[in-house]
Amino acid sequence: MKKVIVDTGPIVALIDATDRHHEWATTQLCKLEDPLLTCDAVLSEACFLLKSYPAALRHLRAFLDDDIIVPVFKSHPHTSHLFGLRETYQNLPMSFADACIVCLVEDYPGSTVFTTDSHFAIYRQQRRRIIPTIAPF
């Protein structure tokens, strides 16, 4: 079964009804099978972006408690590759969370990235393979 890896944008859009991608993200989530995989860096970004909304953070916690979103990535074994990716895409620039998502795609062959970030159309797995996405663009 294909895994879906969720990036920061859809998490924020799912929780924040004022986000321009809220309706799209909600529709997509209904089509996807749990759990959505992610990394701690994505959760950190989402917490930062939602910090002004305590209720939003409770929603994020519920996604985690209910195993709708599951952080599965450990960055330490991938440190060299993560920073290599950031150097490769420094002109975008690539965030640490985006680099973690690329590594997750490589760890889960055949997976798809659920994102609102158009940079995933540029990023490549194993330096040459397109990363399949579920995206609003």
* pLDDT 10s digits, 97-108: 999 999 999 999
pLDDT at residue 114 greater than cutoff 70: yes
pLDDT at residue 1, rounded to an integer: 60
Q: What total number of domains does the chain contain? A: 1
DSSP collapsed to 3 states, 40-80? HHHHHHHHHHCCCCHHHHHHHHHHHHCCCEEEEECCHHHHH
By residue range, what is the domain housing residue 86? 4-134
pLDDT digits (tens, 9 = 90+) for 4-57: 999 999 999 999 999 999 999 999 999 999 999 999 999 999 999 999 988 999
Give the CATH number of the domain where residue 130 resides.
3.40.50.1010
The predicted pLDDT at position 13 comes to 98
Q: What is the pLDDT of residue 93?
A: 82
